[in-house]
Every structure is written in structure tokens, then in C-alpha cells.
Structure 1
């Protein structure tokens, strides 16, 4: 029911492809050394690759996800994101597969406030399925879900990619099992060698719409 409702919103928001912007809030070594004790680090993986025959479309590709600190009171289409990942402008520029991301954020709870999936029905019919803060955070509620992070901690919130099984939607996956998660952390160490990853909190993005609960065992 929840996935179907989300997909209905996505279909209703089909618009023309927009322009590219840089990611917001991404972690840098300089920022971490300056503010790592006052802010928290959020780890996640995202797949921005293009997939064929996806959810009744010729192709589909996650183009953008964004998060804002709650409460989200200024609901508007151009709401600046606290953490945002934007895919390549050209559909073929982003390889398939999950990629490590890290964000340095002020302590608090963050709602997902934007989802954009680029789709094509044919070579001449392309656009985006869009959800913004008006749909994802109405009345200050985290409709798609949220995560939280505290000062000085590092939290892993999951893996995000398009689920092509009809009805197509964004889905929050996760790395399952302690051994697999230890291997996943080794990948983060390679991507962000300046991070201290000895005490990472496994705290998945909480959602009733685009993922299922899981506890690391």
C-alpha cells in the first residue's frame, strides 16, 4: 500500500529533465577535522546507474535524493537541502552499482525531502518522476522516512537504489550480517581514510514506505 501510494505520487510528478548541481553537505577531511566533534557523520550507499526495463519503463535511473533537518517548516519547491546527492547530467555518465557517500551534519533528525528518478518511455520521451518537500514532508511529517545523528558519532543509514519490480520506487536496502557490514566498513575506510570507523552506529533510515526494518545480528 505504501509503495503504491509513493509510486502514484511519482507518476503524477512527471516533469522535464533539469540541470545538474553539486552535492550538498558532502564530507571533506578539512570539515571533519574542524567540526567532527560538534557534528555527526552519516554513511550511506547510493546507486545512480541506469537500468533497462524498469517498472514498465524503457529505462530508469535514480537522479537525486535529498534530506533536510526536521522540523521542516519552510515547505517550498526550491528548499535548499542539508544533504543531497545528484547524479550525472548525462544518463550514461553514472556507472551501475552502489557507491559510498558520507555527510557531515548538525545533530538532529533528518527527513527525506526530495526523490527524483529519470525515466524514458522511448528515445524521444524522457523526463523525471519527482517528489519534493510538499509531498515528502507535509505539515512537518517525514512521510518517506527519516534518520538521526548525534554530535561526534558516525551512523550508517543504509543503501538506496531504484527497485525496478513493479511498481517501481526508490528503496532503502541494507548491508546484512556483521561479517558483510565489516567488509562494507573497509570500503568506507578506503573512500574516507581520515574517518575513525571503530564505533559506527548501524542505524537504518527509518521508513514505512520505502524499506523494511532490520537489526544487525
Structure 2
């Protein structure tokens, strides 16, 4: 009886170990080795974010984008606690410098929905709050109220520069290079940061939204 129980436990533990081994992240930060391994079967998404304070933002003294999260469509994450597939966060210990930070993620092909964001807003140094939206606020019937982007296997897709809009209360906003010259300059910087990427293959396909940006096609 004891031997049978030990064997059963061994099989169960082995099965659990196997399940942990074969599980793979939907999206991983770019590395040249992961890129080489995923060429043809996965895509790459390029995204930029500005974490610096924007002064005189709406009715606030300043505001600051603190985080953006994306879920792959169909992942069926429930509630607000499950970690998103792509998470961008302000990692600066002090005030972030006034510039865009570039990110590259190797991702499974599919559609990615904005599932959370966080904006810090200050009326004074002693009066600070947040505008937050989570998965339960943004995702409904498998679609994001805020927007999404798509990437196919073998593609490298640029989806936008994210910062703040201050027309009313501060909110995330998707910006972009407005002409090919600016876009090529952006890609030159990307090549310096992520040297194995073939920037000639990068497609300009903005985060699709009606609430956080305007439609634009690069001519």
C-alpha cells in the first residue's frame, strides 16, 4: 500500500513538473537568442512609453504615466489579479527623464488588448492621486474598450508612442512619428538598442483606438 502511494505521488509530481516545464510565456522581452529562436513562428512588437511628469496637465499641477498592460485576446483571464501578458511600468527610482523608453517584446501571434493603465496626478506635493483602470473596467466580451494591436507570425510591428493627454483629466494617449523621416530616425535608434532586429521589416501598424488616439496611416 505504501509503495503504491509513493509511486502515485511520484507520477503526480512528475506531471506537475512537466506542466511547469512546457508552459511558455505569451510574450517575453526581446533578446537576440529568443528572437533567433522565434523567427517565423512568433512576432515582435515595438512600443515606446514616456514616464516623465507632464506639467500643467488639465486641472493638475503635474501628471505621470505609470503603467500599461496588455492581454492576448482569448486568454480568458478573469478578475484584476491575474498578471497581464505584456506589462510596461515606470521603473525609475526618482523622477523619470523627459524621454521615450523603447521596448521590444517577442510575442505569440494574435491580437493584444489594453487591459490596464495607471496615471499618477498631483494637485500639489501633498495632494496626489491616481487614475487607474483595470481588466474588469476595460475588457468586455473579449474586446477592450480602450483599444488593441495585432501582430502575425514573422512580423515586426510598431504600435505607437504612449504618453499623456491633458485636454481634460490626464489619460494615456497614443502618439506616433508623423512622417517617414521621423519614423526612420526612430528605427535607427531601435537598431542601436536591438541590433539583431531587421528594421527593414518593421510595419507601421498603430495601436487601434477611438479613445486614446486618432487614426493615422503613414504615407
TM value normalised by structure 2: 0.83
Q: Which has the higher helix share?
A: 2
Q: Displacement, 1:159?
A: 0.9
Name the structure 1 match of 2:69: 66
Name the structure 2 match of 1:215: 217
Structure 1, unaligned runs of 5 or more: 1-23
Name the structure 1 match of 2:108: 106
Q: Distance in 2 between matches of 1:149 and 1:125?
A: 41
SS of alignment partner, residue 103 of structure 1: strand
Deviations 1:31-73 (A, max 9, x none): 1122232110001111111122212112211000011100253
Q: Distance in 1 between matches of 2:151 and 2:102?
A: 18
Deviations 1:79-122 (A, max 9, x none): 21111111036451x11121211111100000000110112222
Q: Displacement, 1:216?
A: 0.8
Count of residue correspondences: 193
Q: Distance in 1 between matches of 2:121 and 2:29?
A: 26
Contact (CA 8 Å) 1:72, 1:137: kept in 2 or not? no
User: Residues 1-150 of structure 1: matches in 2 within 5 Å?
Assistant: 25-88=28-91, 90-92=93-95, 94-150=96-152
Q: Displacement, 1:200?
A: 1.1
Counterpart pick for 1:179 among 178, 181, 197: 181
Contact (CA 8 Å) 1:73, 1:139: kept in 2 or not? no
SS of alignment partner, residue 34 of structure 2: helix
Contact (CA 8 Å) 1:66, 1:83: kept in 2 or not? yes
Q: Distance in 1 between matches of 2:64 and 2:179?
A: 28
Contact (CA 8 Å) 1:72, 1:140: kept in 2 or not? no
Counterpart pick for 1:153 among 155, 170, 173: 155
TM value normalised by structure 1: 0.84
Compare CA radii of gyration and give the structure with the larger one.
Answer: 2
Q: Distance in 1 between matches of 2:85 and 2:199?
A: 23
Contact (CA 8 Å) 2:147, 2:209: kept in 1 or not? yes
Name the structure 1 match of 2:23: none
Counterpart pick for 2:204 among 202, 205, 211: 202
Shift in alpha-carbon separation, 1:60–1:91, aligned structure 2, 3 A: farther
